[in-house]
Structure 1
Amino acid sequence: MAVTSQNPQYAAMLEEWQEMEDALIGPRAISDGGVIYLSKTSGMIEAESLAATDNSPLTPEQAKQLYLAYKRRAEYPLWVKDSLRTMVGLVSRQEPEIVLPERMSALENEATSDGFGLKQLYLRIVSALLTKGRKPLLVEFDDAGNPYIATYTAETAINWMTRDTGGRQDLTLVVFKEQRLKENSDEFDPKYEDVYRVLDLVDDRYRVRLLDEAGADIEGEEYPGLVGGSQATSLGFIPVVFAGSTDNNADVDEIPLQTMAKAALKYYQLSADYHTSLHYTAHPQPWIAMNGDGDMRITGPMAAWMLPEGGTCGYLEFQGAGIEALRKAMQDQQNAAAESGAKVIDIGGAESGEARKARQNDQYSALYSVCVTAAEAVEQALKYVAYWMGIRPDDVTFKVEPKFSKDEVDAAMMQVVSNIVMAGEAPRTVLYDALRKIGLTELTDEQLDSLREGGDGLPNLEDA
């Protein structure tokens, strides 16, 4: 097996993760994706084929412009990015319970390789779980012997293996794909190469290697010890935690915001046809029928055609019979995205934490579940640090019991759904229908309009 080999679950999800990454970047990444996200019409394909033949009335560049114009008219909404910002903002109000022994106390304010503390690490994990369903963490020590937690993306953990140990699944192999600056690289134009950090167990001893694509050693193998990197007493496990949206085992989890991203992508595809139809409607095609000479050099609203006797002219106008159907389909996607966003943020009112989590076991996208698993992942990484340093793991605590107030949830839900609706300039009824459909309110459209505008004497969302 080559070092570049991929776990089957990884290979199956790679395209989904890339799609989510592009959804977060927004219109530029989606547009750059070309036909991956927006197929060419049959007419465009035929035009490009015709342009490649001899004596074609079209040049290849002219044929290419047909698709580019079609793609430029398409509109990709920022639903995923805006909703993620709202959700992480809601989570950021939660204060974690942190208990660290004296020797580990520095981690509270400097836990990551780039110098951020545990709460910022926690929020990064929550963000990654919402958008990728996965966040790998690796416990490491720097050259000065200080512990830290290295973070990886879902796309960089390309392979892993587990074994059953007393009914528990323990990691036996983890491979991370990293990028390293090439030697003699220009400081103003750096070049990078792929390297592979291979973590495995050899005779129950934790081993670390750095290999190139051919599997050759770049650095000598190491067997990190229990205290500060000493090899006297080797570590007996791989200190990696795979944070997930539903649990923290090594398996790939569901992506909570994927439904919203799919709706945004479908909206983008529909909008290309919708705006192209509007473009054709606004630009009718002139035609003439005549014998003899006439003056047709200039056309436009301020110019006249000089036709010979018996000549006729007119416009071929695009009727746009399907425009309304396209608009309705785009609104349906907005509605679907609004519902999915509200379901992600739903935390179940006044239920207890355990009751809420039990109720949401079949809702892989529940924000509450993501908060809990993210906190558990941080705590597990800290326990690995403690064990490695010779400290009792039970002396370490990192817990977050999400306690969102009803007002906070109502405001966040309203913001998520409103962002989706207003980004596409759809009627507010789409927003209101989504709120009623998820059971957040029973207020009428008129009452909700007044509520949004700060009307007095109306019941608030908590009473709805």
Structure 2
Amino acid sequence: MSKNNDITFTRPEFDAALSTWGKNRDVCSGPDAVKAAGHLHLPRLNPSDTSEANNQRNESYLARAVFYAIAANTKQGLQGMAFRRDPTLELPENNKMEYLKTNADGAGTSIYQQSQQSLESVLEVGRDGLYVDYAKEGNQAIILRYLAENIINWRTKRINGRNKLILVVLRECVEEEDGYGFKDVIQYRELRMEDHRFMVRVWRPTGEGKAQKYVAGEPYYPKPFGAEHWDEIPFIFIGAQDNNPDIDRAPLEALISINLGHYRNSADYEDSVHFCGQIQPWISGLSEEWRDWLEEKGVKFGSRNPMLLPPKGAMGMAQGQPNMIAKEAMDDKKAYMIALGARLIEQNGAVKTATQASGEQASGTSILGICCSNVSEAYTVAVMWCARYLGIKELDAINYAITKEFLPKGADANVINAIVAAWQSGAVPTLDMIRSLQKMDIIDPAADPAAILDILNTQGPNFLGDSNENDERAA
């Protein structure tokens, strides 16, 4: 069978990006993953020398290297900034999709947790994917997330003036019972537009070894509630630049490359420290007889082991001069990583004005803001597809949003007074006043403005205490 007719066919750009994605995943996972990859991320010393001695030296070279989890810490910091507030999920006024808040994928993962995982993947490799399916058992539409490495093939076509997906092939790993244990089986899910109808087909392996091939199961045609078929594939890519099928560069890619360079410098530095730190004893003035005698009897060092030497003999210790070139290269990369946004590598105790902090936030989080917008847009579309499966028509009421206010805003008393004065004069509606105070963290940002307004309307005045007490004080 031609490779082009094989369901396992992968697009050339996918193949080109796969090794980079693997490198990024390892670096963003931390030291254990990088060390487990062995010399994949650390060059071998004398690679043409396959002797046991050189193999042992390379193992020691790898073991002594220190990997600093700079990219991983930066990624976690960016995620923490994006999710310092819970994302907002706006749904139509019914409870048919409330389950998404606690179980979006049918396996117990909430939409909030799933979107965190998607943002993490976008930061690491610049790509993720969402597929919306229907689970008949619970009468629920579910959102399934796919890593970039499992979206192996796709194709688009210009239809009615816009590019539409007409094919997506997803790699899936499923567990099958194997006695008391289990085995992982790779299968492929084909999402295809066929005669303007959305069709799904699952390909399962048959045979073993070289004789193994994949056979397609019976196709089925999912359809939204009240419709004959889907006129699109309910799958959406999430990218670092936009949500089209093109592969984007990872936002952390530059930092990851410098982090690996820092790791290699660290390996050279630690190897140099080990080599230069070993003291080499030397002895001069020996005759051949004395040399042979010392070689036969051996030499002991220490304060309680006198060294017997012939007349005019001498003994001393030699130590290599420290090699600071690798250390200087590490320091240079450290400074560059700080400039790239790895602020967690060191604590900066400098006092900054609010204007300076705000300016640094704007420049440092603009890429993060784009990623959050892309994830928010993708999940909004996915929830709309869920609504179509369930027969919910109020699609305009659906919205999912991750906050782009990554740092708390300082509460300026003058600004608060101006907002309240404008509200009291009738220049600003009450709901706008509430939303403004929510943005400044004066009022809980997650609270419903309408609910807050209802509380304000029912609690009555409460400025100086109970009104009767105020009357008594006035008298």
TM-score range, shorter chain: 0.7 to 0.9
Counterparts in 2 of 1:288 and 1:250: CA distance versus 1, 3 Å: same
Deviation at 1:79, TM superposition (A): 0.9
Cα distance per residue 1:158-189 (max 9 Å; x no partner): 1111111223221111111111224x51333x
> Which residue is equivalent to 1:207?
199
Unaligned runs of 5+ in 2: 206-211, 345-354, 411-475
Q: Does the CA contact (< 8 Å) of 2:7 and 2:214 recur in 1?
A: no
Deviation at 1:146, TM superposition (A): 0.9
Residue 28 in 1 paired to residue 32 in 2? yes
Residue identity opposite 1:390 in structure 2? G
> Which residue is equivalent to 2:221?
223
> Which residue is equivalent to 1:268?
263
Which secondary structure does the structure 1 equivalent of 2:74 belong to? Answer: helix
- Name which of 132, 140, 146 aligns with 1:139: 132
Q: Does the CA contact (< 8 Å) of 2:134 and 2:389 recur in 1?
A: no
Q: Does the CA contact (< 8 Å) of 2:118 and 2:375 recur in 1?
A: yes
- Name which of 405, 413, 418 aligns with 1:403: 405
- Name which of 179, 182, 200 aligns with 1:186: 179
Q: Does the CA contact (< 8 Å) of 2:128 and 2:237 recur in 1?
A: yes
Residue identity opposite 1:395 in structure 2? A
- Report sequence identity in percent: 27
Query: Highest CA radius of gyration, 1 or 2?
Result: 2
Deviation at 1:317, TM superposition (A): 3.0
Cα distance per residue 1:376-416 (max 9 Å; x no partner): 010011112222333223232223452234669xxxxxxxx
Residue identity opposite 1:39 in structure 2? P
- Name which of 8, 11, 17 aligns with 2:12: 8
Provide the C-alpha distance between the structure 1 equivalents of 2:264 and 2:366, rounded to a whole number of angstroms. 25
> Which residue is equivalent to 2:66?
75
Counterparts in 2 of 1:343 and 1:206: CA distance versus 1, 3 Å: farther
Unaligned runs of 5+ in 1: 52-59, 409-464
Deviates more, 1:331-340 or 1:394-403: 394-403
Q: Calculate the aligned-residue CA RMSD, in Å.
A: 2.9
TM score, norm. by length of structure 2: 0.72
Residue identity opposite 1:150 in structure 2? L
Counterparts in 2 of 1:218 and 1:304: CA distance versus 1, 3 Å: farther
Residue identity opposite 1:38 in structure 2? L
Counterparts in 2 of 1:226 and 1:395: CA distance versus 1, 3 Å: same
Q: How does 1:137-176 map to 2 (within 5 A)?
A: 137-144=130-137, 145-176=139-170
Q: Does the CA contact (< 8 Å) of 2:82 and 2:402 recur in 1?
A: no
Provide the C-alpha distance between the structure 1 equivalents of 2:77 and 2:9, rounded to a whole number of angstroms. 38
Provide the C-alpha distance between the structure 1 equivalents of 2:356 and 2:163, rounded to a whole number of angstroms. 32
- Name which of 40, 43, 62 aligns with 2:44: 40
Residue identity opposite 1:368 in structure 2? G
Residue 97 in 1 paired to residue 88 in 2? yes
Q: Does the CA contact (< 8 Å) of 2:168 and 2:191 recur in 1?
A: yes
Q: Does the CA contact (< 8 Å) of 1:130 and 1:365 recur in 2?
A: no
Counterparts in 2 of 1:210 and 1:319: CA distance versus 1, 3 Å: same
Q: How does 1:397-436 map to 2 (within 5 A)?
A: 397-405=399-407
Provide the C-alpha distance between the structure 1 equivalents of 2:343 and 2:330, rounded to a whole number of angstroms. 20
Q: Does the CA contact (< 8 Å) of 1:286 and 1:315 recur in 2?
A: yes
Deviation at 1:208, TM superposition (A): 1.0
Deviation at 1:69, TM superposition (A): 0.8
Q: Does the CA contact (< 8 Å) of 1:255 and 1:365 recur in 2?
A: no
Residue identity opposite 2:61 in structure 1? Y
Deviation at 1:367, TM superposition (A): 0.8
Provide the C-alpha distance between the structure 1 equivalents of 2:406 and 2:266, rounded to a whole number of angstroms. 37
Provide the C-alpha distance between the structure 2 equivalents of 1:285 and 1:399, rounded to a whole number of angstroms. 65
> Which residue is equivalent to 1:295?
294
Deviation at 1:114, TM superposition (A): 2.5
Residue identity opposite 2:223 in structure 1? G
> Which residue is equivalent to 1:332?
332
> Which residue is equivalent to 2:440?
none
Provide the C-alpha distance between the structure 2 equivalents of 1:85 and 1:397, rounded to a whole number of angstroms. 25
> Which residue is equivalent to 1:369?
370
Q: Does the CA contact (< 8 Å) of 1:110 and 1:117 recur in 2?
A: yes
Deviation at 1:267, TM superposition (A): 0.8
Counterparts in 2 of 1:64 and 1:216: CA distance versus 1, 3 Å: closer
TM score, norm. by length of structure 1: 0.74
Deviation at 1:23, TM superposition (A): 0.8
Which secondary structure does the structure 2 equivalent of 1:223 belong to? Answer: coil
Counterparts in 2 of 1:349 and 1:273: CA distance versus 1, 3 Å: closer
Provide the C-alpha distance between the structure 1 equivalents of 2:408 and 2:26, rounded to a whole number of angstroms. 33
Residue 387 in 1 paired to residue 388 in 2? yes
Residue identity opposite 1:286 in structure 2? P
> Which residue is equivalent to 1:124?
117
